[in-house]
């Protein structure tokens, strides 16, 4: 019985360790190979497809949802994943990425209002305003640093990266809406949906073949690790493994704990990722950035009802 009770605690520990390591390894790869994000994204796709074929070969022969219904989701899934990762190649630092992507709950709410005409209590709109102010503060603070730093790359490139992040934020929420409608029609089949979102999305990498080939060459010629394998390939494989364990641990916690408790865990994890990125990689993070991060996490807490505003529903 004690072992059963300990399993959620083990899963929570894995969320903290593996999810944070996933972020650290990704930033490490981008620092050493700035244009590797397309290859890293493709590697994750290949792993999910391989896993699906090995463990669930029925996805290819007896799929529950007609394949053509996955086309829009696959296109959205591909573009959002690629934009989220490629933003790092456009001079967007990891702390900024963590802050903006922490607004995912708010993005989901906005898209749900537009797509489903859903109504939300005042506290949710307060959280939207709080997160929006935090994101704007962080963006303005970073823009000022870029403008004042003569050694920094062109600020236009950074702005493109920021637009990629914002597209990724709302694109991910839109993907969720399409998936919700699909499941309402055909039933819930998340494993199959994930498999086909990756399989159908492979075609999107074809225009990027040269970038992928260049990154593979750069990875293969990186310094050799203690395992006798080029270090960047080791980081890439570990990144995929950590991401996989992280996702499975979160899904396990959702089956054991309330969504409120899991939201608290993932919010703390994001904050730890932010702190580790600042400490380990020396990213510039001013007082204004910390205030912005506080507002984003506060807004997330209000939205998730981790914090309640007196007199406001």
H/E run at residue 128: helix 122-148
Predicted pLDDT at 262? 82
pLDDT in tens, the chain (313 residues): 444 467 889 999 999 999 999 999 999 999 999 999 999 999 999 999 999 999 999 999 988 999 999 999 999 999 999 999 999 989 898 999 999 988 887 888 888 888 888 888 888 889 888 998 999 899 888 888 877 776 665 788 889 999 999 999 999 999 988 988 899 999 989 899 999 999 999 999 999 999 999 999 999 999 999 989 999 999 999 999 999 999 889 988 877 887 767 877 888 898 999 999 999 998 888 999 999 999 999 988 888 887 887 766 6
Predicted pLDDT at 2? 47
Predicted pLDDT at 117? 85
Predicted pLDDT at 254? 79
Question: What Å distances lie between residue 93 and 29, 31, 89, CA to CA?
Answer: 13, 10, 9
Predicted pLDDT at 1? 43
CA distance 211 to 61: 33
Q: Is the dihedral of CA 76, 79, 84, 87 positive or negative?
A: negative
Q: Which two tokens stand for residue 57?
A: 């070969």
pTM: predicted TM-score of the whole model, two decimal places: 0.87
Least Cα distance to 200 among 83, 96, 303, 73 occurs for 73
Predicted pLDDT at 232? 97
CB under 8 A, 24+ apart: contacts of 123-130? 123/302, 123/303, 123/305, 123/308, 123/309, 123/312, 123/313, 124/303, 126/299, 126/302, 126/309, 126/312, 127/299, 127/300, 127/302, 127/303, 128/299, 128/303, 129/299, 130/295, 130/296, 130/298, 130/299, 130/302
């Amino acid at each position: 019985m004690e072992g059963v009770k300990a399993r959620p605690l083990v899963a929570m520990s894995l969320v903290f360790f593996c999810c944070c390591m996933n972020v650290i390894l990704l930033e490490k790869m981008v620092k050493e190979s700035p244009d590797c994000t397309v290859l890293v994204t493709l590697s994750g796709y290949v792993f999910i497809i391989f896993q699906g074929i090995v463990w669930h070969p029925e996805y290819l022969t007896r799929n529950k949802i007609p394949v053509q219904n996955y086309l829009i989701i696959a296109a959205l899934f591909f573009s959002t994943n690629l934009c989220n990762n490629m933003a790092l190649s456009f001079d967007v630092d990891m702390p900024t990425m963590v802050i903006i992507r922490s607004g995912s709950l708010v993005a989901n709410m906005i898209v749900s209002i537009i797509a489903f005409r859903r109504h939300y209590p005042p506290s949710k709109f307060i959280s939207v305003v709080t997160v929006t102010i935090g994101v704007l503060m962080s963006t303005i603070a970073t823009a000022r640093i870029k403008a004042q730093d003569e050694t920094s790359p062109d600020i236009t490139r950074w702005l493109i990266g920021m637009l990629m992040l914002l597209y990724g934020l709302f694109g991910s929420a839109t993907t969720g809406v399409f998936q919700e409608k699909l499941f309402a029609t055909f039933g819930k089949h998340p494993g199959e949906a994930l498999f086909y979102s990756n399989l159908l999305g492979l075609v999107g990498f074809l225009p990027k073949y040269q970038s992928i080939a260049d990154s593979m060459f750069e990875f293969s010629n990186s310094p050799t690790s203690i395992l006798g394998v080029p270090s960047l390939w080791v980081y890439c494989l570990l990144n995929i493994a950590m991401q996989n364990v992280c996702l499975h641990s979160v899904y396990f916690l959702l089956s054991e704990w309330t969504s409120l408790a899991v939201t608290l865990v993932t919010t703390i994890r994001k904050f730890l990722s932010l702190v580790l990125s600042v400490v380990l990689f020396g990213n510039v993070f001013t007082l204004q950035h910390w205030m912005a991060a506080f507002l984003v996490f506060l807004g997330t807490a209000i939205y998730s009802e981790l914090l309640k505003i007196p007199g406001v529903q």
